[in-house]
Amino acid sequence: MPDRARRKDVSDVAEERYRGASVRPLPRPNKQYTTGRVCAEPGCETKLSRYNKWEYCWQHEPVHAYVPRGKRKSRTRAA
């Protein structure tokens, strides 16, 4: 009888199948606002992006407070 290739055990096949990164859900889509909007500043005809939630273009938008994002340092490391 000719030599047959060694048959893989069921546990070997399962390990091969699940190698790699796990599948994650897609991130949520960006919020969109109405299209065709124009800056609210009188005389400004700048067309606003559908992703811009403000009424004004970048030149006429009032200054907003900065909100820092990201990891916070622990109090023991910060000191």
Size (the chain), residues: 79
Any residues with CB less than 8 A from the CB of 61 and at least 6 apart, and which? 54
Domain hosting residue 59, numbered range: 30-66
Number of domains in the chain: 1
Asked if residue 49 belongs to a domain, the reply is yes
Predicted confidence band at 5 (pLDDT cuts at 50, 70, 90)?
low
Kindly state the tokens that stand for 32: 């969109």
Asked if residue 60 belongs to a domain, the reply is yes
**Which range (3-7, 29-33, 54-58) has the least confidence?**
3-7
Task: State pLDDT tens for residues 32-55.
Answer: 999 999 999 999 999 999 999 999
**Which range (7-11, 55-59, 69-73) has the least confidence?**
7-11
Kindly state the tokens that stand for 25: 């859900």
Asked if residue 75 belongs to a domain, the reply is no
Comparing CA positions, the residue from 30, 47, 31, 51 lying closest to residue 39 is: 47
pTM: 0.51
For residues 39 and 56, is the Cβ–Cβ distance under 8 A?
A: yes
